[in-house]
Structure 1
């Protein structure tokens, strides 16, 4: 009874290190880890010990006899990653090398203090790695009153299992030496140099918050937006809660076919009553109940074999929604299938080949139509978007697809950080292993570090940030141990007073717990939570946090 990794896999890698027989790959030390769509359990080598189940932060692993009908394809998907063998492999010793935690050499002047800017996965994994050492202090700064970045605002509402990784982050936030400074924006409320006066180092894990924009005429017309903005709207992100999303038309067109495009298409075509059991924002649920959308078209520039979505997401989509192809696109799939050697890509193509024909669809629930080989030329419409004109890729043929809402989904892009260098082409902060580099001298900028997407670009999944953050933290600690990080000017106790002087409405861990408890309470028995969608509402909820007892405040002061 081998165990199986399913769609929810976040590539955290914890399961790799928990496995006593090294049967989960690719491991973080292997070249394919950073680009793998998920991790895979070898069904022949698995000894059914279950250690990986408890190690997985998102509940993505289960015995093959306990999978749901929609998860059954993952049995073959896990097996397909491994070559065929004639005999069963014997159990082996643990082979996956565990990266040792960085050892901090104490200084007489006080603990290592690190400011982490951002509170998403890369930030929380970095904090976790730093706090493996006694005496280290980590202060996490986040511009919103709520933490966890794209896990809260970028994961589709119907992927509640993926959001379970926040349980791990909550454990990190309870570690001694950890502090939250939420609703506090670095670059506005505080500067980089001011943070360095209070810390040995500042580690930026701010992700890639901007969308890559489609540079064609007509983008920006009413009725155009991006898929990532729509996901933020679904999730109640306060900056996008008021986004004007009109679902009164019958067709939505998405340009680009990555996982975010599939997320949006799935939500737009899912029965609202099913979404009412998730943490989707109320304004989005109301709009979906009134939606007139009958079809979501996902258009890709390249062919089926180059589809940007992952195989697990395609399996999840086709098991939950009606997905169809035009006859011409079926022909493209069959063509690619005849020449494709990679087994995982072949699996993707075989699923596409089994999709229904668009012309055979019969009313009922809204459907999703995938189409390929279309390069966008311009958005149609004078005063509002009415569709997109495409060139058939590689030809002079022109094709138009009408739509009432046009979304682009062509990726994320990092944006400059005040006080740090920035590579406009790669849209990352130039760095070497997380050490920020001065582009003029190619030398490290003292005390400045990056992790996550702002370090490596928008690649990988939630858990991929774990190994990325660990690399940065190891280099940060090495610089500290080698005397390359300047001691802070101010004492530990002065930071809290300084931050509150700049931003009186700062939200601490107790304030976040009050927000969290209030949202969960608003969800009742039917929903995981009902989110606050305004900063004012969040701050008001945070203000209801009870003051800690006097003895706790005294102990906190002594620890500082």
Structure 2
């Protein structure tokens, strides 16, 4: 029997477990550990609450979790309840699938003023992550600035702009919905240091902005390249830029404006003890498409700044780490003998949810190459004995199903669930 421990129950973790099942068959036992009592990581806490179709992939992970040789072990924090070294002693392979849940800092003057939040915090707030449920973002002013030109920036803008009725069918948590309903924000500025051809926004997410009830996107035609230049783009990017061209050519008057400000980078955030404005500098691109400030500056008034400039993987004591790239140091996923990383913890925060599937299978194949026959390691029974000795109350997948059922029962009308936002509530709900 081979014993594999996967740290993290998001897409990368479950795809790795699925791959181990395919490769080893009945000769493997996989334990998926998570510091929270609930599974699915990015699916639960990262995907926008109004994108329920994307969240449906969790049903695939559920099938893996309910199989005989895979187990979810929730409410176990690696580093606090058990160390990496102890797991390596117990398992033939330990796979770090911890994702990249930490915001990259916005390193400009004023970047720590009240009212500046990272996208991991803001997204965690409206998705009910226990660490960020009490965030209370500053929605009391008419202006908000979003820094970044990726899909997360679009998610944040869309959530800020929607009416309460437009959240029907979503699983946005009640406290966020209530605060958004009272929001005074009427002008949302999306800052991008490069131009329309350099965005990392997909057509579907961009197109959604054109169908909001009370909000309309605005693009300055001056920022757009000549039409013929679009022919050099990949089809998906060409479609995305096409949406921007439509927004520029057909401006719509609505109470809330979502303004794309291209060739613009924040250089400072100012305010009297809180965010009042962002100082922005115009940029130009060189031949390598790198942005450079021109010296031309202006200010954008706002009470809220959401930084969507990327994520990093938190380091773990004793595990080699690339500080410059914010991920574990590895040779194509191999960190040390018996220790691996997968998904964003290996690649950095790139790719879609589906990108983690081939990544998981690649790591499982490396594990198969590296470990031999039955090593005699204790595996699951050894972990259970260690956690019991330390008084750690684990949450199984069956326990999670009870938590999920309780969330469904407490949902507002039309919503799929109302998430528990405190770990203690989750533990109580499992009975």
Question: TM-score normalised to the size of structure 2?
Answer: 0.92
C-alpha distance in structure 1 between counterparts of 2:303 and 2:120, whole Å: 18
Work out which of the residue numbers 119, 123, 131 in structure 1 matches 2:21.
131
Q: Are residues 1:313 and 2:201 paired?
A: no
Unpaired segments ≥5 residues, structure 1: 1-110, 437-444, 545-560
Q: Which has the higher contact order (CA 8 A, sep 6+)?
A: 2
* Residue number in structure 1 paired with 2:347: 456
Structure 2 vs 1, CA of residues 403 and 513 (structure 1 numbering), >3 Å: closer, same or farther?
A: same
Structure 2 vs 1, CA of residues 362 and 173 (structure 1 numbering), >3 Å: closer, same or farther?
A: same
Question: TM-score normalised to the size of structure 1?
Answer: 0.72
Residues 99-138 of structure 1 mapped to structure 2, 5 A cutoff? 111-132=1-22, 133-138=25-30
C-alpha distance in structure 2 between counterparts of 1:415 and 1:343, whole Å: 33
* Residue number in structure 1 paired with 2:333: 434
Q: Are residues 1:252 and 2:151 paired?
A: no
Residues 173-252 of structure 1 mapped to structure 2, 5 A cutoff? 173-252=65-144
3-state SS, counterpart of residue 134 of structure 2: coil
Work out which of the residue numbers 379, 397, 406 in structure 2 matches 1:509.
397
Q: Conserved in 2, the CA contact under 8 Å of 1:131 and 1:175?
A: no
C-alpha distance in structure 2 between counterparts of 1:201 and 1:247, whole Å: 46
Q: Are residues 1:419 and 2:312 paired?
A: no
Q: Are residues 1:384 and 2:384 paired?
A: no
Return the index of the structure with the highest Cα Rg.
1
C-alpha distance in structure 2 between counterparts of 1:306 and 1:212, whole Å: 20
Q: Conserved in 1, the CA contact under 8 Å of 2:99 and 2:343?
A: yes
Which structure's residues are more often strand, by fraction?
Answer: 2
Aligned residues: 417
Structure 2 vs 1, CA of residues 305 and 348 (structure 1 numbering), >3 Å: closer, same or farther?
A: same
C-alpha distance in structure 1 between counterparts of 2:150 and 2:44, whole Å: 19
Work out which of the residue numbers 294, 317, 321 in structure 1 matches 2:186.
294
| CA drift at 1:350 | 2.4
Q: Are residues 1:407 and 2:306 paired?
A: yes
| CA drift at 1:251 | 1.3
3-state SS, counterpart of residue 432 of structure 1: coil
C-alpha distance in structure 1 between counterparts of 2:300 and 2:412, whole Å: 43
| CA drift at 1:412 | 1.0
Work out which of the residue numbers 59, 68, 79 in structure 2 matches 1:167.
59
| CA drift at 1:177 | 1.1
C-alpha distance in structure 2 between counterparts of 1:324 and 1:176, whole Å: 50
Q: Conserved in 1, the CA contact under 8 Å of 2:265 and 2:281?
A: yes
| CA drift at 1:383 | 0.8
Q: Are residues 1:369 and 2:254 paired?
A: no
Q: Conserved in 1, the CA contact under 8 Å of 2:91 and 2:379?
A: no
Work out which of the residue numbers 141, 156, 160 in structure 1 matches 2:48.
156
C-alpha distance in structure 2 between counterparts of 1:140 and 1:346, whole Å: 40
